[in-house]
Structure 1
Amino acid sequence: MEYISMASLAWFMGFFPLFEIYIAVPVAMGAGFDPVSAVLWAAVGNFMAVPTVTLFYRQLERVSFFSNWMEKLSANRFRGKIEQYGGWVILLLTPIAGVWAISVIAKAIGMSKRTLFLSTGTSILIYGIAIAGSIQLGLGWF
């Protein structure tokens, strides 16, 4: 039962726009998860923002709160770079701008689902592993 509650915490923190994977992995490891489980659950939660935006983009546009929020996200300073370079820049910008913003921008410019899913998924895993590795190295020093 404890594993399920910790996995749920890591998943939710990874999914929630203000936390994402940067907070989810350290919190999960601090709560007692091993690095692999922390990255796995945080990454799955963080990645779930992509299909959520992809599936519900049109419906969310109809709700004024979400419409305004998505408009602000898609007007992000990184939009031009994503339009110009596509999936490669998503690998680099996902950890900077956040998966929610990247997903909304990609959907707004009409990027293919395949490119979006592969780029964000790869980016989330790379940065999740980097965060967990950094924490392990830092914790090993004490």
Structure 2
Amino acid sequence: MNVIKASAILFMAIGMLFSSNLVQAQRGGQQGPKPIPNSTQIKKMIQELVSTLDLNADQSKEISDLYTAHFEDVKEIFESGRPSRKEMENLKKKFEEDIKSVLSEEQQEEYEEYLEKNKSQRSGPPQRGRK
């Protein structure tokens, strides 16, 4: 009888392990901050903005400089320890304001739309059971 109970407990534990891994995989599998983009990824982001917002050469250069400086700042912050959520939100807010300062009013509106579109893509599919 004890062997049966031990086997049942073992199977339940294995089942719980698999179900928790499945839930984590459904939620995207990643916890914590996303990795800092490398120079190739940053260039791709900038090119997407150039084409989306129809940036001129001066704007492209300024945006490129802002992106490079921003991700260097992010890297430094993470190298010095784990930053608070508020610190990262403030850094992101300042970055987005700096980007907008380079753009015309029309481009700023397009940039807001771009951010909203990408925000919904980054957050993944809606999660069931959470409101």
Instruction: Please report the TM-score for the alignment, with normalisation by the length of structure 2.
Output: 0.32
Find the structure with the greater CA-based Rg.
2
Query: Going by fraction, where is helix more abundant, 1 or 2?
Result: 1
